[in-house]
Structure 1
Amino acid sequence: MLCTMLLMMCFVYGHGSQPHIILIVADDLGWNDVSFHGSDQIPTPNIDQLAYEGVILFNYYVEHICTPTRSALLTGRHPIQTGLFHGTIGAADPYGLRPNETTIAECLHELGYSNHMVGKWHLGHFAEEYIPIRRGFDTTFGYYLGKEDYFDHTSTVFANKQYLWGFDFHKNGEVYKPVFGQYSTEIFTEKAESIIRNHVNSKKPLFLYLPYQAVHSANEDQLLQAPQKYIDRFPHIDVKKRKMYAAMVSALDDGIGNVTKALKSTGLYENSVIIFTTDNGGPVCGFDGNCASNEPLRGSKRTLWEGGVRGVGLVNSPLLEKPGRVSEDLIHVCDWFPTIYHLAGGNSSTLKNLYGVNQWDTVSSGKQSPRLEILHNIDTVGNYSALRVGDYKLVVNSLYPDKWNDWYPTEGQGKVNPDPRATVVHCPNKPTNASTNCQPFKAPCLFNIKLDPCEYNNVADIYPDITSEMKARLDEILPTVVPAANKDKDMNSDPKLHGGNWVPWIKQTGTNHV
């Protein structure tokens, strides 16, 4: 394994100095769904406190959908390197994050960490070697698929013209039924708190990977779900879906607050690093039955517009040299792997074949990011791509030529006065031809994201040299894209063949699965 080979080359901090690392992931959280970005609908005081007392990541990018981001987060490798760049892994799909891909949990295990995962996996479960308990975690508690009911933890999917339905909750690789009827955000929080409290007397540093279900939509019969106590917090929002979505965000914020309190009450916080990220931009109202807001950014989840890939992100830690500030440096979700590895005592310069770079000096001290370029994606199946170099972004083709390419205002009424400390996106005046001056499926579009973060003005014709250079850069990267890992659905996954549960259905055959 990568980390085993590197261990002899690593500088490891002395006993007691390796920080506890808490990696929290929100699912489908929109840019404008946290009050530290200026939301006047949804107060997020606990997330805000982490942001204002830590470092807000203002030019932080994730991938446009769940599976690609989660693979990038855990391996430090771009989805074009792992074959997970096209779509998400479905419940009946016989592929996943290949076992020969090294996860950050495996690396941290080699560096002496106690590793725990609580929440959503979504990186494949068709064979035993793909499930999280086999990927470097000492304990796991959560679900394998991309979505499910928040209370009964069943997932309904449509595959090969029929519906498949089954229970999807697992503890350490085994089906776990006692959580039936309990709201996932609350039980994930309670489990995380328990792990933290039980770790107090451990001699090992803690790695807690906490990818919440919130605020992804659930099954088709009830897409948005929250306990009534959270819904009651938003009488001012008159759009039902947005009200329910706000309740889900509020439950998430409470959960993160409780996890933070547990760290502080146990004394672990003083030697902890908390990283908070969304997995992609928000699915705007009408997309996937959800009702997120990326305002004022363009686009939605599943697109390569800023609304799809510019992520909510922050770092909070007493170990930060310069906290209480906003970082405008370019940071990509792949960067967490080498950054965490460095924090844990590893020598990140010895890591090979990663897309990620160590960003700790940038985050902690405000030093300039070593990253000048971010590849948003090259999808060789869908034939669309986007690249940012410095201030400029090139968009080639589009996943949705006829929809989700616009600007979507926040649904419902606002109430809360935006915090004057909020870090908001400032856009130029919107031209009348904003919706028509860029048609990426006809010709590449170029934007200056620093001056025009809302992607109003296509400047490809004004700067043809930059457009040509960036297109050439995409052409240069293209041969490095590995084949897509996607495979046809396998109906042997049907839960009715497995006691009504979503579980691995193919016997292990080593590490040659695709």
Structure 2
Amino acid sequence: MSSDPSRPNIILILADNLGWGELGCYGGGLLRGAATPRIDEFAQQGLLLQNFNVESDCVPTRSALMSGRHPIRTGCLQSVPAGLPQGLTRWEKLLPEILTEVGYISAHHGKWHLGDIPGRYPSDRGFDEWYGIPRTTDESQFTSALGFVPEEVEMPYIMKGRAGSPSENVCVYDLKMRREIDAILVEKSKDWLSRQAEARRPFFLYHPLVHLHFPTLPHTDFEGITGNGEFADSMAEMDFRVGQILDHLDTLEEPIRQNTIVIFASDNGPEFRPPYRGTAGPWTGTYHTAMEGSLRVPCIVRWENRVPANVVSNEIIHITDLFSTILDLAGASTLIPRDRHIDGIVQTNFLFNPLTRKSPRQGFLFYIKNELRAIKWRDWKLHFVYEPKVNQSSGHLESPYLFNTTRDPKEETDILAYNTWVLQPMLKMRAAFDVSLKEEPQKTATNGIGGIADSKSVL
């Protein structure tokens, strides 16, 4: 582990489908049936972002995090079933691959969802070791499903691997393991952190939790603990698991703990499938929509004596910014690829001075698959397709809807007719983005719904 502030250690914990309104520090907690004391305490120790934005689905968000690029560029447009091409090509330069070039050691414990064939597993893409699931959690229901035909599908497995060696299956990922996996992942991360204490190298730990993705089932130790059902029990467990990682970090040498950046965030907006339906708090919508409830998710950043404690900000940050900012903090900004468009903006100065500095990001374009759904600029949101609930789309709007997200957080009252001036900066953003897409065409999906075929890559 590193005690050099120019090469800080980095822990990134990513929850799965945690809505903006679930945690106590975001207005949820007990109101959602489960207190979240550990994450709430963590929020008081760092910077809580109210306007942290992601992509529409698990694969698009995770690809944006690892590449710093919108999925419309990389072709990682949506989650697809096993057996179909998916994930990031070898041509894309991933976060851990770049960190390796400046001496970092990296581990992945959790959900990957960016490639499920040799050459695309985490240990093939810059992580020194990994343990977890290559795709997604709903596959844990397969073996319990009525009429399941195992010979017709690829079985879901928990897997593990090390750089330079083939990844291998550990066990079938079924409903029993669904309840146990987050506990196992925490033990893997704790063991790895302990080993790094002796290595004296800066580290990057990526710990993508399985909670709260459906089926949202708690570990047996947490069943019934809240009295408010399995979703609330799972929230209590998730909070506890985050606390376990933070507690273990505290057991390490003081200079190392002080020199470790911890980021907690979510990959998508809340679950919409009953009985595991989540909430986005004051916002409307869930993942798979372009509503604020899909875009905005929790994100908290802590770095003792560098990022101010107990600060809340509504400045716009995007998931791609984590890519560029982490590399900047690690002293690797000169290694950010220059031969492709990187959408991530370095947010280091803002993170260090959130009370006096503005985010350098004004907004972004929001695609679902190949379709531009909305443009977000400052406090304004322009919808080209209006879909407040999944599968309830208006279709393409002849006259787009415009909302002010401060005055109308539910995005209910179109005010474009009185604010057509806003079209100028928004459509300039779109024009510039369109030019960049023509300069570097999107990777082509081989199956029409996801995956990538790219002449620049053998995988």
Q: 1:396 to 1:484 in 2, by over 3 A?
A: farther
Match of residue 192, structure 1, among 185, 189, 195: 189
Question: Residue 81 of structure 1 contacts residue 480 of structure 1 at CA under 8 Å; is this kept in 2?
Answer: no
Match of residue 31, structure 1, among 11, 17, 20: 20
Q: What secondary structure, in the 3-state scheme, does the structure 2 residue paired with 1:444 have?
A: strand
**Alignment map for 1:218-367 (pairs within 5 Å):** 223-235=215-227, 237=228, 243-267=229-253, 268-286=256-274, 290-347=276-333, 351-352=337-338, 353-366=341-354, 367=357
Tell me how far 1:442 sits from its aligned partner.
4.6
Which amino acid in structure 2 is aligned with residue 53 of structure 1? Q
Tell me how far 1:72 sits from its aligned partner.
0.6
- RMSD, aligned CA: 3.1
Q: What secondary structure, in the 3-state scheme, does the structure 1 residue paired with 2:137 have?
A: coil
2:65 alignment counterpart: 73
1:429 alignment counterpart: none
Q: What secondary structure, in the 3-state scheme, does the structure 2 residue paired with 1:59 have?
A: strand
Which amino acid in structure 2 is aligned with residue 174 of structure 1? E
User: What is the rounded CA distance, in whole Å, between the counterparts of 1:264 and 1:465 in structure 2?
Assistant: 52
Tell me how far 1:311 sits from its aligned partner.
1.2
**Alignment map for 1:109-188 (pairs within 5 Å):** 109-126=100-117, 128-148=118-138, 164-172=153-161, 173-177=167-171, 181-182=176-177, 183-188=180-185
2:164 alignment counterpart: none
Question: Residue 366 of structure 2 contacts residue 372 of structure 2 at CA under 8 Å; is this kept in 1?
Answer: no
User: What is the rounded CA distance, in whole Å, between the counterparts of 2:282 and 2:446 in structure 1?
Assistant: 37
User: What is the rounded CA distance, in whole Å, between the counterparts of 1:511 and 1:351 in structure 2?
Assistant: 16
Tell me how far 1:265 sits from its aligned partner.
0.7
**Normalized per residue, which structure has more helix?**
2
TM-score (norm 1): 0.77
Question: Residue 339 of structure 1 contacts residue 348 of structure 1 at CA under 8 Å; is this kept in 2?
Answer: no
The alignment covers a number of residue pairs equal to 432
Tell me how far 1:60 sits from its aligned partner.
0.8
Match of residue 406, structure 2, among 402, 426, 450: 450
Q: 1:485 to 1:25 in 2, by over 3 A?
A: farther
Question: Residue 118 of structure 1 contacts residue 209 of structure 1 at CA under 8 Å; is this kept in 2?
Answer: yes
Which amino acid in structure 2 is aligned with residue 324 of structure 1? N
Q: 1:453 to 1:100 in 2, by over 3 A?
A: same
User: What is the rounded CA distance, in whole Å, between the counterparts of 1:43 and 1:65 in structure 2?
Assistant: 27
Q: 1:167 to 1:59 in 2, by over 3 A?
A: closer
Tell me how far 1:159 sits from its aligned partner.
12
User: What is the rounded CA distance, in whole Å, between the counterparts of 1:401 and 1:340 in structure 2?
Assistant: 34
Match of residue 385, structure 2, among 397, 414, 417: 397
User: What is the rounded CA distance, in whole Å, between the counterparts of 2:325 and 2:144 in structure 1?
Assistant: 35
Q: What secondary structure, in the 3-state scheme, does the structure 1 residue paired with 2:421 have?
A: helix
Residues 200-238 of structure 1, C-alpha deviation per residue, up to 9 Å, x if partnerless?
111101110001111111xxxxx3322343232222x3x
**Alignment map for 1:430-449 (pairs within 5 Å):** 441-449=397-405
2:358 alignment counterpart: 368
* Structure 2: gaps spanning 5 or more residues: 162-166, 450-454
Q: What secondary structure, in the 3-state scheme, does the structure 2 residue paired with 1:342 have?
A: helix
Which amino acid in structure 2 is aligned with residue 396 of structure 1? F
User: What is the rounded CA distance, in whole Å, between the counterparts of 1:351 and 1:137 in structure 2?
Assistant: 19
TM-score (norm 2): 0.86
Tell me how far 1:192 sits from its aligned partner.
0.8
* Structure 1: gaps spanning 5 or more residues: 1-12, 218-222, 238-242, 406-437, 491-508
User: What is the rounded CA distance, in whole Å, between the counterparts of 2:267 and 2:376 in structure 1?
Assistant: 19
Q: Percent identity?
A: 27
Tell me how far 1:285 sits from its aligned partner.
4.6
User: What is the rounded CA distance, in whole Å, between the counterparts of 2:46 and 2:392 in structure 1?
Assistant: 33
